[in-house]
Amino acid sequence: MLFRSPAVFNENFALHCLNSGIPTELVSYRFQYPKILFPGSSQLNASAPPKDSIKRSALIHTLNPWSWWKTARYIKNQKPDLVLIRFWLPFFAPALGTIARMLRKHTTVLALTDNVVPHEKRPGDRSLTTYFLNSCSGFLTMSDRVYLELKNWPVHKPIVQTRHPLYETYGPGLSRSQARKKLNINSDAEVVLFFGLIRAYKGLDLLIEAFNRSAAKNLRLVLLIAGECYENAQWYQNLISKSAFHNRIIWHNRFIDDAEIPLYFSAANLSAQTYRNATNSGVSMLAYFYRVPLLVTATGGLQSIVPHEKAGFCVPVNVLSIAEHLDRYFKEGLETQFKTALEFERQKYSWNQFLGSLQELYKMVTGSLKPELFVENK
């Protein structure tokens, strides 16, 4: 069993490296979050491990320093030219920072930083993050906000910003009619999808309120929510129960397995991310991959991912604006127009551009580029 995102990104990256002739191994967690940090029902993907050529080693126990030493020793023995560490939460700083410090005498250690300042702040976050950042020689980020946070952090090391590439490992989509039949949704419904782990900053409550306004005017509108709660689910359930249109709100309150992802995006007319704050989002890349137009809020990295009125809407973070653009999307029949623009926009999010940015950072840190480490992108 494999940890879900960011493991999904890591596997896509590893496959691209391997397909480019770059030997790559994923070293991941055998224990990741304690229950207090992850109150959801599952941290694991129950799908069988994919049949691919990736070598995987689940070694890190975040609460066991002995495992940190064993992990560093294992990686050192592989004699890598580069170690790229994924960082997104200060909780991981003691483990990952210690591993990096054990390795940096023997190889180049860089970080792919999803977040510097976490979405939910806790005492000690800044000190923990500083400990990790001081352990690495340079940083790759996929967010405008994180880039600025790194620039302003008192750790003066090279930083390169890149784009979040498309996920390519979930397989092709289904026909819309097939997907809706499996999900028991009417074929003529107009479906708005909210996908992923539900956390307060992701603004599902804003979307439910906006849906209530739009559903009164559009009798075919359906809100499909796919994902379990990080917090107590009852608050969201109460919002749904109080809605006059609760019979048109479908919530699959559970971990969505990898094999089901094509099903949900294939059923949707529109993917909604009504976040209060964000750095970047893998959900956007799933929508791009399955060619589903997006409605996102103008916060963090979402603003650069979804240019307004091209691949979708990028709107202010408030219920009235979200509802207004839900109305427009379906009333004006914008799906086909946005899908055409989406085809152009999605070309920006290739794995080749991501690998090129990593090459740039490696050269900035080391002053050289080992031919056996990177293969020239065509």
Quick: pLDDT tens for 146-185.
999 999 999 999 999 999 998 877 889 999 999 999 999 9
Token reading at 51: 């049949």
Give CA torsion, residues 186, 187, 188, 194, to 10 deg. 70
**Domain annotation covers residue 371:** no
Residues 141 and 186 in one domain: no
Residues 142 and 246 in one domain: no
Tell me the whole-structure pTM to 2 decimals: 0.80
**Left if phi > 0, otherwise alpha if psi is -120 to 50, otherwise beta: which for 184?**
left
Residues 184 and 84 in one domain: no
Domain residues for the domain of 259 are 176-348
Number of domains in the chain: 2
3: pLDDT confidence band, cut at 50, 70 and 90?
Answer: very low
**Domain annotation covers residue 64:** yes
**Domain annotation covers residue 377:** no
Contacts 24+ apart (CB under 8 A), 295-300: 295/192, 295/270, 295/271, 295/322, 295/325, 295/326, 295/329, 296/272, 297/203, 297/206, 297/273, 297/322, 299/275, 300/143, 300/144, 300/145, 300/275
Residues 78 and 185 in one domain: no
Residue range 175-191, pLDDT digits in tens: 999 999 999 999 999 99
Phi, psi at 277, each rounded to 5°: -150, 155
Token reading at 61: 């126990």
Residue range 48-68, pLDDT digits in tens: 555 578 899 999 999 999 999
pLDDT value at 44 more than 60? no
Using CA atoms, how far apart are residues 8 and 245, in angstroms rounded to an integer?
A: 35
Query: With contact defined as beta carbons under 8 Å apart, do 112 and 140 qualify?
Result: yes
What's the pLDDT score for residue 266? 98
Average pLDDT over residues 258-271: 96
Closest C-alpha among 172, 217, 226, 227 to residue 190: 217
pLDDT value at 376 more than 80? no
Residues 41 and 160 in one domain: yes
**Domain annotation covers residue 139:** yes
205: pLDDT confidence band, cut at 50, 70 and 90?
Answer: very high
Query: With contact defined as beta carbons under 8 Å apart, do 207 and 194 qualify?
Result: yes
Query: With contact defined as beta carbons under 8 Å apart, do 300 and 279 qualify?
Result: yes
232: pLDDT confidence band, cut at 50, 70 and 90?
Answer: confident
Residues 202 and 124 in one domain: no
Per-chain mean pLDDT for the chain? 89
213: pLDDT confidence band, cut at 50, 70 and 90?
Answer: very high
Query: With contact defined as beta carbons under 8 Å apart, do 191 and 267 qualify?
Result: yes
